[in-house]
Chain A
Amino acid sequence: MSESHDNQHAHELTNVPDPAVVNDLYADPGLPEHQWRPTDVDAHAEKRAERQVATLFGLSAICTILFLVSYFAFDIGDDPDVVGGFGASNLFLGLSLAGALLFLGSGIIQWARKLMADHEIVEYRHPAASSDDDREATLAALNAGLEESGIGRRPLVRNSLLGAVGLLGLPAVVALRDLGPTPSQVEKNADYPGAGLEHTLWAKGVRVVRDVVGTPIRPGDVEIGDLFNAEPETLFNGGEDGEPLEGLALQVGKSKGAVVMIRMAPEEIIPGEGRENWSVDGIVCYSKICTHVGCPISLNERKTHHLLCPCHQSTFDLADSGRVIFGPAARALPQLPLAVDEEGYLIAQSDFTEPVGPSFWERG
């Protein structure tokens, strides 16, 4: 134990003392003497501990019964029982289950701590590695097996096997091909309007309507500073026979077609190049889908016309073509060119002129 390893330290790179952890300062005092517990030497203490354990088990059983009672006693559903603002069923089922489990657990642990033998045992470790003999024998067996198979001697068999097995990986990948259509297949074949990464429900003449209710909007309805969450009217009349869209068509339509519309004093707007006639009386309209990873943007700062995404705090300037002024987004919000139809309602001049939502490789 007191062997010094200083001489080994002088070597470079390979010199770590062996075996690990040598205490050259003190002799091992050995395991401390076993301390008898009160329950080991005092019959009263032992009896008391026994009673404690049994009481804990008994309490656990009572809680289990309380669980069963609670299950049938408390109403849930339309008119649930309430205790202290909690749903009574959830509260009492949970508390009684917790009691049953905690009492059971603490009973078992108390039993182990107070009544089970507490002598520490010493076990010797063995190296994780096999003995040299075993290693040799295994290596020999391995070599014999390989030798008898002839895999080393017959490269034709080996290589054709490797090739065949390797090729089997392809079906596993190819068979996943039908997980979904490609973007261009969706654009061509999908049976809902506005399909594909490059398209939305917006088109020339589609009315801008309020979300949820679907009523069209006149420029006069919008006050300066007001922010509207709006949608294409197609969501509300694009189905068969003018029915609202449903299911997949509705969700996909919303996920690309949602817009925000805001009115500001016309002189505040800095129109982008070629976007001079995209606003109507100071009303501008942008995609609501963040160009970062696609969250719907919602937090409007009324005074500054800044719009903040609640997911990752990208901030866009609605007065300046939806330019990014802060945060991780890299592209301006796509702007929807607005016009007014003959009935005086706001409509789109066309679809968005670029894909909405997060970036993708072939976006350009």
Chain B
Amino acid sequence: MDTTKVAKTNATTAATAKKPNRAGAVAGWADERLGLATAMKKNLRKVFPDHWSFMLGEIALWSFVVLLLTGVFLTLWFTPSMGEVQYNGSYDQLRGIHMSEAYASSLRLSFDVRGGLLMRQMHHWAAMLFVASMMVHLLRVWFTGAYRKPRELNWVIGCLLLILGTLEGFTGYSLPDDLLSGTGIRAADGFVKATPVVGSYMSFFMFGGEFPGESIIPRLYTVHVLLIPGLLLALIAAHMLLLVYHKHTQWPGPGRTEQNVVGFPMLPVYAAKAGGFFFMVFGVTALMGALFTINPVWKYGPYDPSKVTAGSQPDWYMGWPDGALRIMPGLETHIWGITISWNVMLPILILPVVMFTILLLLPFIDAWITGDKRDHHLLERPRNAPTRTALMVALMTMYGLFWIAGGNDIIAIKLHASINQITYFLRVAVFVGPVIAFVVTRRWCISLQRKDNETLLHGYETGIIMRSAEGGYSERHLPLPESRAYAIAARDRDPVIDGHPGAEVDANGVPAPTGGRLAALRHRLRTVWYADNVQKPTPAELEEGHHHAEHEHELQAPVEGHAADGHQFDGHHAVEDEHLRSH
């Protein structure tokens, strides 16, 4: 029944008179109480540009939702207590064994609650997916320059999400109180004790006395289900709000400029695609939970401080600091009755903080070096910012080498190599590898820039070899389609750097840096930042290139319109009745 026609309101006009459908009626009801129409007017049809790489952050978002849903299920049965009980559940091998309530309830979830194992495994897989997709999303944002003004703060929020997600993962896999996770907490106790001055006090406060105490599992539980998820939720909300406010970045192309954003409207297409994608992520997690065992805590047994399993390793995202810890030489200072454990402090307490600080500051370091204060909404191809790309590849290489170090025992066993030699190699490689990666990536990017210029000036290679009347051979080049050429050329020219900052000259005619040492450093860094980059052609060069190409076309004119004129695959003309000649 259409109730809108009889709707009476006390307002001067009937608010729903123009919305005869039911959705409109509901919206009208809500608006009279919440006034949402003004805010929603633009946002319902907000435009989101399309590109596969924009989906990576979405995976992180949806896996977080899966974590919330499965996590709530787990809390209904999990008992965060270190009280000692005798296990009497279904798992035969452990029946009669004394263990903590936390471990016993994890076993109960796995063997005596229908769907409990599925939810446990989905929760763990979703956590893996969450951290992994955040990392890949971060790389995408860096490599395309999407972190630049005005989005630096969203980069910072994203980094905070990454570190909180990592901590959330650590606290989560520590909860079941099995042998493996207990060993992780034991190592964490060692890390805390290595803190200068207050280390042993911090350890005793954390554990409520001596390790392992009876407090750490309930405390980690509060952190895992309340504190960090609350922060994650708030930061994710801020991340999304800023995304909506800034509007999404887009790739340059025909019709896509710094001033606009082109794509599908949120309602209905984007909402449907994103909503559908949530179910896909959820479904894939369920598939993994059904088919792939993860963290089989029943195989490890309850935590026993006198036992350990061979090949003890943390979850993969904790692997890199663990690797740093493994390859650090055993340095300790004993002086004035105190002990300074460099062997633990440097790789575990200092290195991650330094690395994270660098990550957090990257956009600001970039902006400081380049001096770029403009807004950027068009993405850059990684090759067009060689130093930026190389910098992240260097960091990735360092991360990867540390990560490999975290599995040095596994590698030694699988490859029948000496663990000592692997360790010595990695001690050097974590410093040398990033430098090599930086240089190689930078040169690679510059070569790709050169290739782009070649293509703009002389067209693309058709793979068709022409023989001239004189018997000379040449490959036929054809101009790029207009839209492609436009997209490639839609990039900045790098600023030209003068020989010296400020162009001031002192009494002896030697350039004198103005602005002090910091400005000089900045100038040097900026020179390095842009050094050797290849700029896109100038209009004059392009003109000349096209002229040259036209000349070549004239020479090749006799074959134009014939089979094998090189246009078979670029859509310049129909090819239905043409067949490549075969000899």
Contact = CB atoms under 8 A, between A and B. Distances in A.
Interface of A: 2, 4-5, 9-10, 12-26, 28-32, 71, 76-78, 80, 86-87, 89-95, 97-102, 104-109, 111-113, 116-118, 120-125, 127-129, 176-177, 179-183, 186, 190, 195-197, 211, 229, 231, 246-248, 250-252, 254-255, 257-258, 288, 292-299, 310-314, 324, 326-331, 357-364
Given A91-B290, A94-B290, A109-B272, A30 B259 contact: no
A10 B499 CA distance: 11
Contacts of A359: 193-194, 332, 339, 341, 344
Given A76-B90, A246-B98, A248-B214, 16 more contacts: A17-B495, A28-B486, A30-B255, A104-B279, A116-B272, A118-B269, A121-B265, A123-B46, A125-B259, A179-B205, A180-B208, A180-B209, A252-B305, A310-B409, A359-B194, A361-B195
Interface stretch (B111-119, B388-396, B439-447, B572-580): B111-119
Nearest to A76: B114
Interface stretch (B28-36, B157-165, B183-191, B226-234): B183-191
B470 interface: no
B262 A121 contact: yes
Contacts of A20: 258, 374-378, 492
A4 B376 CA distance: 19
Contacts of A30: 254-255
Nearest to B526: A13
Given A247-B83, A313-B409, A361 B305 contact: no
B187 A294 contact: yes
A312 B211 contact: no
A364 B519 CA distance: 46
Contacts, number: 399
Contacts of A180: 204-209, 213, 215
B383 interface: no
A108 B305 contact: no
A142 B492 CA distance: 39
A299 B150 contact: no
Chain B CB within 10 Å, residue with most, of A246, A248, A361: A361
A-B residue pairs, 5 tightest by C-beta: A94-B290, A293-B190, A105-B279, A101-B283, A31-B255
17 contacts: A20-B258, A20-B374, A23-B486, A26-B489, A86-B291, A94-B121, A97-B283, A101-B279, A107-B276, A108-B273, A116-B268, A123-B260, A123-B261, A128-B375, A182-B204, A310-B409, A312-B326
Nearest to B456: A25
A112 B276 contact: yes
A116 B274 CA distance: 14
B196 interface: yes
Contact of A28 (B254, B310, B522): B254
Nearest to B340: A361
A294 B189 contact: yes
B194 A71 contact: no
A108 B209 contact: no
Nearest to B342: A330
Nearest to A251: B212
Contacts of B209: 180-181, 186, 190, 248
A358 B413 CA distance: 27
B210 interface: yes
Contact of A101 (B190, B196, B260, B282): B282
